Amino acid sequence: MRKKFITNLMLIVFLNFLIKPFWVFGIDRTVQNVVGPSEYGFYFTILSFAFLFQILLDWGTANYNSRNIAQNNHLLSKHFSSIIILRFLFGVVFMASIMVVGYLIGYNERQLYLLVIIGFNQFLLSLILYLRSNISALLLFRIDSFLSVLDRLILIIICSILLWGNVTSEPFKIEWFVYSQTAAYSLTAIIALVIVLFKAHFHRLNWSPAFFAIIIKQSFPYFMLILFMGMYSRIDSVLIERLLPVDGELQSGIYAMAFRLLDVANNMSGYLFAVLLLPIFSKMIKDRENLSQILKLSFTLLFMISSTVAVSSLFFGTDIMSLLYHQHDTESLTNYSIRIAESSNIFMTMMFVYVATSTTYIFGTLLTANGSLKQLNIMAFIGMLISLGINLYLIPEMKAMGSAYASLIAQVVTAIIQVVLAFKILDIHFEAKFVLRLGVFVVGLFAFNWLTTYLPYEWFFRLGVSLSLVLMSSFALRLLNVKAFISILKEEK
């Protein structure tokens, strides 16, 4: 299993690093710069609002399905023929819910219009994730890897034409960005559906209310978990916009500048690990295999990546944000400087959130594979209360920065709880020497970044020197071991 994990991790990371950096820094960042922080904040707030209801599109069926099919491949055809109907019924409930609530909280005509399109996009994304859960559950990771970047590849093509193709004399509108997503998600969903239909030997749809009830009942713990985690992960920008009537959209836009980078970091690392690990952990638990080695391997890799990004961002955050985000046409130099300063502080904080979410992606996935949903739901409920309480207290005083602090505290607390739960429930542990090596690695991160501040060179050169020293230290501490990787690839089945 370690060989399967490593080989497929290399493929999915390669594909994501090939496509997603250009999407983030070439397309998404350009859209933010072109439309301006207020207009992007307008879009981002509606996106976050729709995301709060995302669970209504899924009801936990994707996670339940991935775990169940990984342990029982023969059930794919039977379950798919009914669950796919449920997904469309969930879509109707989701669209009705977001429109009613959006109207009740006072969304205007333009906000409601964009909410309809974004809601449909969220439905397509949820459908893609469900279809991919079937593919990954069959351990067809290569196919899943290509599907994981297909929508972004299509989006890059469409948005590149709209941004730089001179196909229109009108300035780029945020609505065009949303329409592009609709086209990309639709095409990806169709391709994923064809693959699953072929693999499931699909014959016909199965309308079975009794089976629907069983699936919903069995998925309900996953539903509650995703609901609570979604609340403390995505409610921030919605609260910013609602609690700050004067400059809510601007503050949401400033928050989005940093949050989008956190989102990218998670999607290009933690989420990829979780997609691979959930079916692998599920099968290993069913077969009563030892989990310690693959858990240690995956956590080590992800912890080193996330902690390196976090500490480096602390020293180079302002430089990075100034490089990525430019002064808008209608923005004064003073306002731009204030915006960069605020977003840089949020960015530095959010990158430490990244360390916590990375830990959650490993240990939360392990607990999900084990079926420890009761404990996870209690943990997520605690996280939701912490996030809501701190956001409501800090946003009126500190604006977007208050949300960053709320996210950091909630994510760190929930990550620690999950580590403790995993060690206790599954009776696993990390050796003291291993923990000590991780501690030395973190101390080295701060030391290397601090030392490079004395170098008389541009910041990107100093960052490169620091990262080189970090890489060498990881080998010196044997956190990265080339011989061990080669041995796994050669000897394990």
Return the pLDDT at 4.
63
Q: Is the pLDDT of residue 45 over 90?
A: no
Return the pLDDT at 119.
96
Higher pLDDT, 390 or 288: 390
Q: Is the pLDDT of residue 488 over 60?
A: no
Calculate the CA 291 to chain-centre distance: 24
Q: Is the pLDDT of residue 38 over 70?
A: yes
Torsional class of 371: left (φ above 0), alpha (ψ -120 to 50), beta (otherwise) = left
- Residues 289-345 have pLDDT tens digits of 888 888 888 899 999 999 999 999 999 999 999 998 888 777 889 989 999 999 999
Q: Which long-range contacts (CB under 8 A, 24 or more apart) does 242-246 make?
A: 242/105, 243/392, 243/395, 243/396, 244/395, 244/396, 244/399
> Once rounded to an integer, what is the mean pLDDT over residues 404-408?
95
Return the pLDDT at 16.
78
> Once rounded to an integer, what is the mean pLDDT over residues 395-412?
94
Residue at 369: amino acid letter: A
Predicted confidence band of residue 256 (pLDDT cuts 50, 70, 90): confident
Rounded to the nearest integer, the mean pLDDT of the chain is 87
Torsional class of 309: left (φ above 0), alpha (ψ -120 to 50), beta (otherwise) = alpha
User: Which DSSP helix (H) or strand (E) runs through 29?
Assistant: helix 29-35
Higher pLDDT, 60 or 180: 180
Please tell me the distance from the alpha carbon of residue 349 to that of residue 344, in angstroms, as a whole number. 9
Contact 282, 133 (CB under 8 A): no
Predicted confidence band of residue 183 (pLDDT cuts 50, 70, 90): very high
- Residues 447-465 have pLDDT tens digits of 999 999 999 999 999 999 9
The tokens describing 420, both together, are 């403790």
Closest CA to 274 of 208, 209, 226: 226
pTM of this structure: 0.80
Which three-class secondary structure state does DSSP give residue 457?
coil
- Residues 121-176 have pLDDT tens digits of 999 999 998 888 888 777 777 888 888 889 999 999 999 999 998 888 888 899 99
The tokens describing 446, both together, are 């701060």
Q: Is the pLDDT of residue 64 over 80?
A: no
Predicted confidence band of residue 422 (pLDDT cuts 50, 70, 90): very high
Express as a percent the part of the chain with pLDDT over 70. 94
What angle do helix axes 61-71 and 271-286 make, rounded to 10 degrees?
40
